[in-house]
A = this chain, B = another copy of it.
Amino acid sequence: MAKKPSIPKGTRDFSPIEVARRNYIIQTIKKHFEIYGFQPIETPSFENSETLMGKYGDEGDRLIFKILNSGDYFGKFTQDIYDLSEFRNLLEQKLQDFCTEIDDMLGNDIRNKAIELPDYLQNDSVINIFDSNFAYFTGSFEEHLKQIYSIAISDHKQNILSWSFKAISRFRYRDDNASEFVSDDVYRFDFSEFPFDGLYVRIIAENLTSKELTPHISEKALRYDLTVPFARYVVMHQNEIDFPFKRYQIQPVWRADRPQKGRFREFYQCDADVVGSNSLLQEVELVQLYDAVFTDLKLGGTTIKLNNRKILSGIAEVIGAKHLLVDFTVALDKLDKIGEEKVKGEMQAKGISEVAIAKAAPLFAMSGSSLEQLAQLKLLLAASEIGMHGVSELEEIINTVEDIGLKTADLQVDVTLARGLNYYTGAIFEVSAPKGVSMGSIGGGGRYDDLTGIFGLKDVSGIGISFGLDRIYLVLEELGLFPERLDQSIDVLCINFGEKEGLASLKLVGKLREKGIKAEVYPTSTKMQKQMKYANNRKVPYVVLIGEQELSNQEFVVKNMDTGQQETYSLNKHEAFVLSLRA
């Protein structure tokens, strides 16, 4: 194979340094998830298609990667259709109707009339019935047709349906002894009357659509997010789970999206959710959790934006656009991107009246601290019960968080924040990177009242947040926040000077490894220069040299690759070197 190997678009190889950096972020997130009492679960990479399909809208269904069934999936598909007894029964019925119709047309007695067999039917078994391609009927037409049909079924399982269709559409007849056919009109069977959207017919016509075919040849699909599998997990394991259940999950997901900068077809999600408690303490804790993780990553200055679905519902209510809630919030969500005028224009275009938009004016002028904004919202929403409920929830969260205090993050009310509006029912979160870094949100989440309902477990309230691993990676990279130690994959390299020296090195390395020091011996006693180049490329901080001289002195020399300084230790006293490494 001379062809240069490649990987599928939208996927990535991760080099050692990239893995180390990604793991640094993942381990930091994981540490705080656990400190906050979340427990890890893992779910399979692929789920039954019915678990995933229909949960993410039409667009989502399209972006779910489907796995082809194993084995002879296509043969099974055609066989499945053949086996559909309903389909067979209908076919029998149609044949019956057809025969009746023919009988009506030709008179009940069609003895001594001939039927032209189409070449599809010209196999030996069939010809035997008629003794000719132009068969003369000796029994009733119906009787003969049924005979043909039954032979066809036993002889040609796979092809019978298409074959039968063709057969019954192409019978022509003529009177016995007549040299002309009674009519040139071929009797046409109307396929469109058939049920199953003419599925089988269309296979033959090759007009079967992919969407129709997929469920027949694929039963599994790759995980699209971690939320639906989590809901499925909770319902399946509800009897083993102690609620409230605080779970975290850090696993890859797959989407057949068009790859772009920062958008991949395989990427990790890092989710923490609590189900089975509607206490607002959860909202407070999740704000604290965001703060703890980003502070630990040295990423100060993040903004945690907070909104509440009930406030959005309240606004739509008081301005008289309750029925246009989604259009209203989708437009409002764009305020910081396209500005006030364009947002208003979009609202108008969606049918929100000028009066309503005028009533919403305070939203465009919201300013001040979160508590000041809440005061403005109270005025605006005084007439809406649900709106005031949302304000009071926000107020409690903000007051509690301010009482406890955050380390480096800033909590801010943002009434334009909508995210997956149809999904969230209470709090909505989104985290922005520090000012000056051009990056979308690096985290988000919210409360949803009925996640597990789709799998039959009602009334389990949940709330969750997610960290955007790839974006956090890009932010830390841009700001140079990855610890330097991540670049260093090994602490000590022993240069290999030959068989005996190599063995001594291997023994020393064994002792260093016992102390948890990452160490290795260069595998062959090749040129010093090559070995040092390898040490430099791998950014080894200490190179150990045991040459002939050192071996005979039972010593080893340590070269500090940063300073160039060399120090000599006794081979029996490697602990002194270990201590210097730890200093």
Residues of A within 8 A of B (CB): 1-8, 11-16, 19-20, 23, 31-32, 34-37, 39-48, 50-51, 62-63, 65-68, 70-75, 78, 119, 133-134, 158-159, 162, 169-170, 179-180, 184, 186, 203-210, 213-214, 217-220, 222, 232-233, 235-237, 240, 242, 244, 246-247, 252, 254, 256, 266, 274, 277, 279, 281-282, 284-285, 288, 292, 400, 403-404, 454-456, 489-490, 493, 496, 502-503, 506-507, 510, 513, 516-521, 523-524, 533-534, 537-538
Residues of B within 8 A of A232 (CB): 5, 7
Contact A14 B1 (CB under 8 A): no
Contact B68 A67 (CB under 8 A): yes
Contact A162 B206 (CB under 8 A): yes
The answer, among B50, B134, B180, B210, for a CB contact under 8 Å with A71, is B210
**Which of A75, A519, A520 counts the most B-chain CB atoms under 10 A from its CB?**
A520
Contact A209 B75 (CB under 8 A): yes
Q: Do A44 and B11 form a contact, CB below 8 Å, given A39-B16, A65-B70, A490-B37?
A: yes
What DSSP secondary structure best describes chain A's contact surface?
A: mixed
The answer, among B37, B47, B237, B256, for a CB contact under 8 Å with A520, is B37
The answer, among B1, B3, B523, for a CB contact under 8 Å with A281, is B523
Please provide the 9 A-B residue pairs with the shortest distance between their CB atoms, ordered closest to farther: A37-B520, A11-B44, A16-B39, A279-B523, A70-B256, A277-B523, A14-B42, A19-B40, A74-B210
Q: Chain B nearest CB: distance from A434 CB in Å?
A: 22
The answer, among B75, B186, B279, for a CB contact under 8 Å with A210, is B75
Residues of B within 8 A of A179 (CB): 179-180
Residues of B within 8 A of A252 (CB): 45
Q: Do A209 and B72 form a contact, CB below 8 Å, given A252-B45, A455-B5?
A: yes
The answer, among B4, B72, B119, B507, for a CB contact under 8 Å with A186, is B119
- Docked CA distance A100–B502 (Å): 81
Contact B247 A13 (CB under 8 A): no
The answer, among B7, B32, B41, for a CB contact under 8 Å with A14, is B41
Closest to A456 in B: B2
Residues of B within 8 A of A247 (CB): 16
Contact A41 B13 (CB under 8 A): yes
Contact B70 A68 (CB under 8 A): no
**Which of A35, A204, A404 counts the most B-chain CB atoms under 10 A from its CB?**
A35
Q: Do A170 and B489 form a contact, CB below 8 Å, given A206-B162, A455-B1?
A: no
Residues of B within 8 A of A8 (CB): 44, 46-48, 219-220
Q: Chain B nearest CB: distance from A457 CB in Å?
A: 10
Residues of B within 8 A of A279 (CB): 523-524
Contact A489 B39 (CB under 8 A): yes
